[in-house]
Amino acid sequence: MTPPIVECRDVHKTYRQGALEVQALAGLDLAVEKGEFTVVCGPSGSGKTTALNLIGALDRPTSGRVVVDGRDLGTMSRRALSLLRRDRIGFVFQAYNLIPVLTAFENAEMVLALKGGPAEARHQKVMALLAEVGLEGMEHRRPHELSGGQQQRVAIVRAIASDPAVVLADEPTANVDSATADHLLDIMAHLNEKHGATFIFSTHDPRVMERARRVVRLVDGRVERDDVRAPATGGSP
């Protein structure tokens, strides 16, 4: 039996705010299989962003285990975690996080460039992905020359270019209009189906939840509901 791509086992996370302790996660148990298109949702303060930060090796749990692609994050050095983020985890952020002085191609290629390898192979792969998400001919534009939806498409290509084990998308539709959000979701669903990319979203956007095949609802730092269902039908990218 193939182990999950992501597994959280009795994960607790406590933050200090002055003299106060705030418990963001209180015994989170979650397993995500390869190829899932899953949403983690919940009210403000439910722990959904904290959960993504722990899965993305951006933070460490106070207790419990987080395992990503067969690696127990709690046993890894800082350098090993950095390499894991580079090689096996893709990130799509609410604010895009593109580098302003780089072109769309250079932003999309960034992770592959950090990993090295033949430049021509990198070029072909990134150009093919940019075309796949509808950005053919825009590779030389810088972020300020792109719309919000186009910038997020560049960020999506950057996230999947290195064939990560999992793509973490934190409120990826928050800064775009409804039509653009639907288009972005079409693109991510297409990439999930065609390339087998595993997506985990943190969101409160009902449009994202309607498209997911699994919706995990967190309340007070633990799973309240875990629903697996058929997704709504989307258009082509």
Domain ranges of the chain: 35-59+78-228
**pLDDT tier at 231, thresholds 50, 70, 90:** low
What is the percentage of the chain residues whose pLDDT exceeds 70? Answer: 97
CB atoms within 10 A of CB 29: 13
Residue whose pair of structure tokens reads 């297409």 in the numeric block: 190
- Residues 131-155 as b or e (16 or more Cβ within 10 Å = b): ebbebeebbebebeebeebbbbbbb
In the predicted model, is pLDDT for residue 235 greater than 80?
no
Look at residue 157 in the predicted model and tell me its pLDDT: 94
- For residues 90 and 219, what is the distance between their CA atoms, to the nearest angstrom? 26
- For residues 41 and 206, what is the distance between their CA atoms, to the nearest angstrom? 10
Backbone angles phi, psi at 137, to 5 degrees: 90, -5
The model's pLDDT over 10-27, given as tens digits with 9 standing for 90+, comes to: 999 999 888 888 899 999
Cα–Cα distances in Å, from 43 out to 5, 32, 58, 178, 204?
26, 21, 22, 21, 7
Residues contacting 21, CB < 8 A, separation 6+: 14, 15
Angle (nearest 5°) at CA 24 between 19 and 29: 145
Structure tokens at 70: 């067969």
- For residues 120 and 113, what is the distance between their CA atoms, to the nearest angstrom? 11
- Does domain 35-59+78-228 fall under CATH 2.60.120.10? My reply is no
The model's pLDDT over 63-107, given as tens digits with 9 standing for 90+, comes to: 999 999 999 999 999 999 999 999 999 999 888 899 999 999 999
